[in-house]
Amino acid sequence: MFDNLSDRLGDIFDKLTRRGALSEKDVGEALREVRRALIEADVALEVVRSFTDKVRERAVGAEVVKSVTPGQMVIKIVHDVMIETLGAEGKPIDLNAPSPVPIMMVGLQGSGKTTTTSKIALRLTRREKRKVLMASLDTRRPAAQEQLKVLGEQYGIDTLPIVAGETPPQIAKRAMTAGRLSGYDVVILDTAGRTHIDEPLMMEMAEIRDVAQPHETLLVADALTGQDAVNLAKSFDERVGITGICLTRMDGDGRGGAALSMRAVTGKPIKLIGTGEKADALEEFHPSRIADRILGMGDIVSLVEKASEAIDAEKAAKMAKKLQKGAFDLEDLADQLGHMQKIGGMSGMLGLMPGIGKIKKQLDAANLDDTIVKRQMAIINSMTVKEKRAPKLLNASRKRRIAAGSGTEVQDVNKLLKMHRQMADMMKKMGKGKGLLGGMMGGK
């Protein structure tokens, strides 16, 4: 179903004649396909709605650059919004707490809780060189504690000795004590699951939580159960409080619909994904990879890259034209600073323009670290459009207003203006000089 989402979008837009900007009707048609595909993939309705709203907002009126098709343009927007919905960056398990760090694993029976527990233990042992103790708190299924013990022996990870007749909170307490006394860095508590959520299960989880005071409470959920997994996450979060999600069976046929909803509905990060039964089949969660997968096309990545390159190149060309006229205003500077923030360096749009290395160096030398860039952006954002386009207007009282508005000093405003003047001068010279920029514009 998701397989053809990109194709379907492409088809719709390829039929359209080219216009300057994407119209409401064009976008609406594509969004119908997006909506259908998301619903088929079991993405929660509320998430589908806010997702398509965001895409519409961004797409309607967006100019279609010459070098990409309208279809590619929309796919890029869908891709971007998807990454945002999934949570921009993967968050690893947080071990920043006094040892032994308690990690509590919760979830339904059969979701892969025990498997994931040992996968995480193995990972922390091998990659992070932590000493890990695992404990099964599942007293309901007779074989459960035994299963964890066997896995522990297999991977060379210690498990808490089984003592018959203890309650889950008692086991949790004993595990934490053993962890402390024997110098473990991490104690992972594998709790009991049920086939469905019920009150006794939630009470038991809350009790264990109170005893162990977990630093991380990770919900293990089966990606294939789609919408059910989302409701599960909601309930567990409300009753026990979770800090993150491990989505298992991402190697299966499910195409990530659950991932998309989980994050949006619970606001909790997906920390890890399970991609198989073997011990090493555990991966960090990368939103862009999942977005590619949801869009379901092998070459979606290159397509998106091509589209963004073309968009950048066209912007750069527009900028070059402006520079030739010697018209680099503060709006352009804000554009550049914003771009720098995004890519974390000066290799962005300016980098696309030949001969611009000198300016890049100057900016780098100006020690433009993140906080400085943020301050500069704040200053520019406190200006009116008129002021940005004509910095000459900035007299002393306007500067004072801008400094107050951006939480800076007048001397910061002056510094920024000086930097802008220097850049504008240099660009003007380059634009007129050896035709560097002119050359790039195809001699026009």
Would you say 111 is a known binding-site residue? yes
136 near ligand GDP, judged by CB under 6 A: no
Rg value, the chain, Cα: 27
- Tell me the one-letter amino acid at 345: G
Tell the smallest beta-carbon distance from residue 28 to ligand GDP (Å).
38
> What does the per-residue mask of binding to ligand GDP show for 209-248, with x meaning CB under 6 A?
---------------------------------------x
Q: Is 151 left (phi over 0), alpha (psi -120 to 50) or beta?
A: alpha
Q: How far is the CB of 134 from ligand GDP (least distance, A)?
A: 12
Residues 6+ apart with CB under 8 A from 69: 10, 13, 14
Q: How far is the CB of 57 from ligand GDP (least distance, A)?
A: 36
Q: Which of 166, 251, 284, 312 binds ligand GDP (CB under 6 A)?
A: 251
Closest residue by beta carbon to ligand GDP: 274
Q: Residue from 10, 226, 274, 287 that binds ligand GDP (CB under 6 A)? A: 274
Residue 249 is a binding residue for ligand GDP (CB under 6 A): yes
3-state secondary structure string, 48-72?
Answer: HHHHHHHHHHHHCCCECCCCCCHHH
The residues in 97-116 that bind ligand GDP, with binding defined as CB under 6 A, are 107, 109-115
The interface with ligand GDP within residues 20-59 (CB under 6 A) comprises: none
Segment contacting ligand GDP (CB under 6 A): 64-72, 154-162, 272-280, 283-291? 272-280
The answer to the question of residue 254 lying near ligand GDP (CB under 6 A) is no
Q: Is 371 annotated as a binding residue?
A: no
Q: Cβ distance 363 to 327 under 8 Å?
A: no
Residues 146-165 that bind ligand GDP (CB under 6 A): none
Q: Is 280 in the site for ligand GDP (CB under 6 A)?
A: no
Nearest in space to 134 (alpha carbons), one of 88, 100, 97, 165:
100
Spatial CB neighbours of 289, under 8 Å, sequence gap ≥ 6: none
Distance of closest approach, residue 286 Cβ to ligand GDP, in angstroms: 16
Is 112 flagged in the annotation as binding?
yes
Q: How is 292-320 classified by DSSP, letter by letter?
A: HHHHT-TTHHHHHHHHHHHHHHHHHHHHH
**Minimum CB distance to ligand GDP, residue 248 (Å):** 4
Of the candidates 10, 70, 152, 193, which one interacts with ligand GDP according to CB under 6 A?
A: 193
Please check if 237 is assigned to a binding site.
no
Assigned token pair, 17 = 């004649």
Do the annotations mark residue 249 as ligand-binding?
Answer: yes
Q: Is residue 85 within the footprint of ligand GDP (CB under 6 A)?
A: no
Phi, psi for 435 (deg, rounded to 5) = 70, 25
**Rounded Cα gap, residues 94 and 184, in angstroms:** 16
Q: Which two tokens stand for residue 421?
A: 């003047």
CB of residue 45 vs ligand GDP: minimum separation in angstroms?
Answer: 27
d(CA 223, CA 293): 13
Q: Which of 238, 277, 299, 425 binds ligand GDP (CB under 6 A)?
A: 277
Residue 248, strand partner residues:
222
- Whether a cis peptide bond, with omega within 30° of 0, leads into 100 is yes
Residue 184 near residue 99 (C-beta atoms within 8 A): yes
Contact 162, 174 (CB under 8 A): no
- 341 sits near ligand GDP (criterion: CB under 6 A): no
Asked whether residue 369 is marked as a ligand-binding residue, the answer is no
Nearest CB to ligand GDP, comparing residues 109 and 341: 109
What's phi and psi for 219, nearest 5 deg? -85, 125
The CB-of-93 to ligand GDP minimum distance in angstroms stands at: 17
Rule CB under 6 A: say whether 355 interacts with ligand GDP. Answer: no
Give the shortest CB-252-to-ligand GDP separation in angstroms: 6
Helix (H) or strand (E) holding 277: none
- The Cα 399–Cα 312 span in angstroms is 32
Annotated binding-site residues for GTP read 107-114, 190-194, 248-251
Provide the binding-site residues for ligand GDP, judged by CB under 6 A: 107, 109-115, 193, 248-249, 251, 274-277, 281
